[in-house]
Amino acid sequence: MVNHQEHEVSNGVVLIAFGGPSSSGKTTVARTIQSLIPQKTKLIHLDDFYLTDSKIPIDSKTGYQNWDCPEALDFKKFKKYLVGLKNGEEPISVESIQPKDTDLKLNEEESSQIRHVIDSNLKKFDNKKIVFVDGFMLFHDPSIIKLFDISLFFHATFDTLKTRRDARKGYNTAEGFWVDPPNYFKSIVWPAYEESHKHLFIDDDINKNLKPDLLKTYKIKELNNGESQNLFSLVTNALNFIIDNL
């Protein structure tokens, strides 16, 4: 079994994973926290490491491109990038094609309460380079989870995630824009998540809790972003876990 000591030496670089299935709120929460601590943190996105559009695997059942399996991403480049960051190397420049804004925002009062939490813990951020890594495929492979010092695992039920995903216009891709074809969440997104992540859950059932030993081993915090969850409590829980583990 792996333990904390096996996290690689970090040079004051703290890599924080914002992982979990599509539409679970990773980008929203990561961007919200990052925007409140811009000088101390940097945000990168796994979605900037997709293969070019014509190289995305085709699902044999539906004939659709499968943007949700690990093979759609350049993990060799991604891992090299993360290891470089951890070793304090100046990273190769990766042009981000992710939207800079979020649909869901904190109100003024909520933002000022979160700022207060940050200000009261500023010492924790001193002498550290904190990198938030946002991605839907950060935990499927032990060689990747192990690179993170702190991990946040966002999730919600099939119905909630499907509703949120269906409401989205689409995604910027390396060469264009992707719009889900009919039934895409049920036939591609959820099965790909289940296939790649089930081994992390009790009884290999993604509707159950994560295996408790994994939570400890990899410093993972589960964050349920269900239907009635609000952004403020999600951000508060994520931030408190980060601060406690810095």
45 in Cβ contact with 96 (< 8 Å): yes
Q: Which amino acid is at 33?
A: I
Q: What Cα–Cα distance (Å) separates residue 172 from each residue in 19, 51, 141, 168, 246? A: 19, 13, 25, 12, 33
Residue pair 211/200 in contact (Cβ under 8 Å)? The answer is yes
Report how far apart the first and last C-alpha atoms of the chain are (Å, whole number).
23
- Rounded Cα distance between 14 and 147, Å, is 10
Count of residues in contact with ligand ATP, rule CB under 6 A: 15
Residue 4 or 168 with smaller CB distance to ligand ATP: 168
The string of DSSP codes covering 40-77 is: TEEEEEGGGGBPPGGGSPBPTTT--B-TTSGGGB-HHH
Give 27 or 65: the residue with its C-beta nearer to Mg ion: 27
Nearest distance, CB of residue 11 and ligand ATP, angstroms = 28
Q: Is 34 in the site for ligand ATP (CB under 6 A)?
A: no
Contact partner at residue 83 from Mg ion, ligand ATP, none, CB < 5 to 8 Å by partner kind? none
- Binding status of residue 193 toward ligand ATP by CB under 6 A: no
Catalytic residue among 47, 48, 134, 180: 47
Chain residues 120-139 in contact with ligand ATP, contact rule CB under 6 A: 136
Which of the choices Mg ion, ligand ATP, none does residue 19 contact, using the CB cut-off of 5 to 8 A by kind?
none
If contact means CB under 5 to 8 A according to the sort of partner, which of Mg ion, ligand ATP, none does residue 23 touch? ligand ATP
User: Contact at 8 Å (CB) between 225 and 24?
Assistant: yes
- Taking the complex as a whole, the smallest distance from the CB of residue 12 to Mg ion amounts, in Å, to 27
Count of residues engaged in binding Mg ion, rule: CB under 5 A:
1
* Interaction residues for ligand ATP, span 85-114 (CB under 6 A): 103-104
81, 90 contact by CB (below 8 A): no
| Residue 179 binds which entry of ligand ATP, Mg ion, none, CB below 5-8 Å type-dependent | none
Q: How far apart are CA 161 and CA 175, in angstroms?
A: 26
Question: How far apart are the C-alpha atoms of 156 and 135, rounded to whole Å?
Answer: 15
Q: Quick check: 24 binds ligand ATP (CB under 6 A)? A: yes
The binder of Mg ion chosen from 15, 21, 27, 237 (CB under 5 A): 27
φ/ψ (deg, to 5) at 226: -75, 180
Residue 22 sits in the site that holds ligand ATP (CB under 6 A): yes
Q: Which is nearer to Mg ion, 27 or 160 (CB)?
A: 27
Q: Is 47 a catalytic residue?
A: yes
Active site residues: 47
Residues near ligand ATP (CB under 6 A): 22-28, 103-104, 136, 164, 168, 225, 229, 231
Residues near Mg ion (CB under 5 A): 27
